[in-house]
Amino acid sequence: MRITPQDASLRTCEICALAPVMPVLVVEDAACARPLAQALVAGGLPALEVTLRTGAALDAIREMAQVKGGVVGAGTLITPKDAEAAKAAGAQFGVSPGATDALLDACEAIGLPLLPGAATATEAMRLLARGYGMLKFFPAEASGGAPALKAIGAPLPQISFCPTGGISPANAESYLSLPNVVCAGGSWVAPADLVKAGDWGAIEALARDASRLGKS
């Protein structure tokens, strides 16, 4: 059951490499979860991050875990209890805005691959020293955007990133063109109005467009 930081990073890197964009989802109604996941997967975005920001999040993970072809993870993991609840709900990986020893210890103990967050070279180096080579760069735009991530990558080329926070179709390519970026996290592929309207066709189209980013 236990997972090493090195194996955790290998697994999260594999998941991030499934598509250029990982949808960051805030699900208010678990009844929408399965059709939402189906639309995103059909559009070419199989790796899904459900943030633990709503009361429906864990139920949404349970629903999405049943969708063929999808790989569902839990975002906004802050505490060991968050990690345990996410794993019990069926999450195949976790994502955190930062990293604490308590959270890292818990995820390793229960075998939940974690994508921990870092915004500075010091934070990235500390995680690398523990064995984590695949990180979340958050908050991406507020932390200097693609130029900052490019600068961090110069002395730390052995670390790969999934930038998240302020990513949009307008700036995604600037991140995806960097050699240290595997994918980018974004919420634009599942806007709240389309989810509320149940317009799964429109969401699938947005996902399909996002799946083509970085391939031109």
Q: What is the pTM of this model?
A: 0.97
Q: pLDDT tens-digit profile of 62-81?
A: 999 999 999 999 999 999 99
The arithmetic mean of pLDDT across residues 158-184, rounded, is 98
Active site residue 63: no
Q: What is the pLDDT of residue 144?
A: 98
Query: Which backbone phi and psi does 135 adopt, to 5 degrees?
Result: -125, 160
Six-digit token pair at 41?
Answer: 């997967």
Task: Name the active-site residue from 81, 136, 141, 215.
Answer: 136
The Cα 163–Cα 182 span in angstroms is 9
Whether residue 216 has pLDDT greater than 90: no
- Burial of residue 155 (CB within 10 Å: 0-12, 13-18, 19+) is exposed
Both tokens of 45, joined, read 């975005």
Question: One of 49, 63, 108, 204 is an active-site residue; which one?
Answer: 49
* Contacts for 96 with CB less than 8 Å, ≥ 6 apart: 75, 76, 77, 78, 103, 114, 115, 116, 117, 136
Give the tens place of pLDDT for each residue, 178-210. Answer: 999 999 999 999 999 999 999 999 999 999 999
Q: 49 an active-site residue?
A: yes
139 upstream amide cis, omega within 30 of 0: yes
Compute the average pLDDT of residues 96-115: 98
Q: What is the pLDDT of residue 130?
A: 98
